[in-house]
Amino acid sequence: MLSKQHKIKELMRKNGIDGAIVSSPENFHYITGFASHQHTVSRQPSFSSAIMTSDDSVKTHVIVMDFEVPALQEKLKDFIVKKYDTWVGVRQWDEIVTKVEKEHSIIFETSIDILKKTVEELELHSKTIGIELDFIPFSYYCTLKESFPEARFVNISSLFILSRSIKTHEEIEMFRKLTCACDEALNHASKYVKIGVSERQVADEFRRHVMASGVCAPSSWSMFTTGPNSSRLNLASDKIIEDGHTFKFDGGVNAEFDFYTTDTSRTWIVGNGHSELLSLKDRLYEGQRRMIEAAKPGLPINELFRIGFDYVKEKYSCYKRGHLGHSISMGPQTAEAPYINASETRPLEPGMILCVEVPCYIHGMGGFNIEDMILITEDDCEILTYRTPHYL
């Protein structure tokens, strides 16, 4: 994918931040457009990092393990790729053929060694440096503080979340592809939601269909739950769907090393459901539809919340809910700011992708989540998860 570092650099300049050390796999990808393999697998900040300044004319430096340097040099033509030494021990072909080892530097340089040199080279050692305090461990933070005692460190995590809340055209197309694959798989799996079928059987149909798409993988946390299980966090089990059960799907797919993820939900009443369950679902669905109909640029997010919440609360005075949706981007979490809640005054903007949900869970009985992903367009909104019906 394309680098989106220009968006972060602009936010850095607005906030008086001279440079940044990007440590999380997701934001490394956001900055460079490419994922670092071992960094992603280990989720350790020392495995890969990007060091950038707020100046658009200064190239960003990328520090990766020696074993990965050739791959990233091919991909990151507009970045300065630097290596640190590891345990891998890659050799030259003529060393294998002649069985004679070439002379190598006896100095073993770690990722922190290269990071120190890079920060000095970019003249950031005594300036304001943004770091991802929401990601890095305390021990790594202490190492940075000890390495650069004159620097002023500030948390840049929220700037990434802010930037990620407005999608580029390329990101929007990624979400179109992912929601299509998820929706088609869920629509396929919905045909197995019948009395006598287990949660696991439905989940397996969904997973097989997602994998067959060839464009993404099923999210490991996706829930397929029936009856009382649908009123709590619970992964798919051998629980059998019974007459009158609520059957709930809540989950999605992810783009693996591109990180982008989806989050949507459907709840169906199977067979002869209790009349009050039917009425509750209708009210939740109608509340969510009212929210989607109102979603357009300029609408304050807290007003969007009130539209759905007040509509449900009017009929069910016991209804409680902290938020009715959220932004979504690269994970690993699905819910990101801005949240659709009573205190968020930020207006909707074109390019936002939101998960609009109106849930209600009843302890020991069952539960509902009515959720769709929408794109805020220039003058309206577009539902991205339209292929799977809310009513079977």
63-96 pLDDT, tens digit per residue, is 999 999 999 999 999 999 999 999 888 888 888 8
Q: What is the residue-wise DSSP string for 269-286?
A: E-SS--HHHHHHHHHHHH
Q: Where are the alpha helices (DSSP H) in the chain?
A: 5-14, 25-32, 37-42, 69-75, 93-98, 111-121, 138-147, 157-164, 169-190, 199-213, 275-294, 301-315
pLDDT for res 129: 98
Look at residue 100 and tell me if it is in a domain.
Answer: yes
**Degrees (nearest 5) of the Cα angle 350, 249, 189?**
105
Q: Please indicate, yes or no, if residue 391 is contained in any of the structural domains.
A: no
Provide the pLDDT for residue 157: 97
Per-residue pLDDT reduced to its tens digit, 129-185: 999 999 999 999 999 999 999 999 999 999 999 999 999 999 999 999 999 999 999
Indicate the Cα dihedral angle 102, 104, 110, 113, nearest 10°.
Answer: -150
Same domain? For 191 and 42 the reply is no
Distance, in Å, from the CA atom of 252 to the CA atom of 223, rounded to the nearest integer, reads: 9
Q: What is the pLDDT of residue 289?
A: 98
From 103, 133, 163, give the residue that closes a domain.
163
The pLDDT of residue 105 is 72
**3-class secondary structure, 306:** helix
Q: Give the pairing type, strands 19-22 and 128-131.
A: parallel
Cα–Cα distance, 256 to 215 (Å, whole number): 9
Per-residue pLDDT at 191: 97
Q: Name 380's Cβ contacts closer than 8 Å, sequence gap at least 6.
A: 295, 296
Structure token digits, residue 198: 């287990």
Residue 376 confidence (pLDDT):
98
Q: Are residues 229 and 354 in the same domain?
A: yes
φ, ψ at 277 (rounded to 5°) = -65, -40
C-alpha pair distances (Å), 290 with each of 71, 341, 372: 49, 16, 13
Domain end position, chosen among 134, 163, 192: 163
Mean pLDDT per 10-residue segment, the chain (392 residues): 97 98 98 96 96 98 96 95 91 87 82 98 98 97 97 98 98 98 98 98 98 95 96 95 98 96 98 96 98 98 98 97 97 93 98 98 95 98 97 94
274 with 152, same domain? no
Whether 145 and 243 map to the same domain: the answer is: no
- Domain membership of residue 392 (yes or no) is no
Residue 390 belongs to a domain:
no
pLDDT at 104: 74
Number of independent structural domains in the chain = 2
pLDDT at 332: 87
Q: pLDDT value at position 240?
A: 98
- Asked if the structure places residue 236 within a domain, the reply is yes
Q: Are residues 71 and 120 in the same domain?
A: yes
Q: What burial class does residue 322 get, using C-beta atoms within 10 Å of its C-beta: 0-12 exposed, 13-18 middle, 19+ buried?
A: exposed
How far is 234 from 369, CA to CA, in rounded Å?
14
For 45, the domain range is 5-163
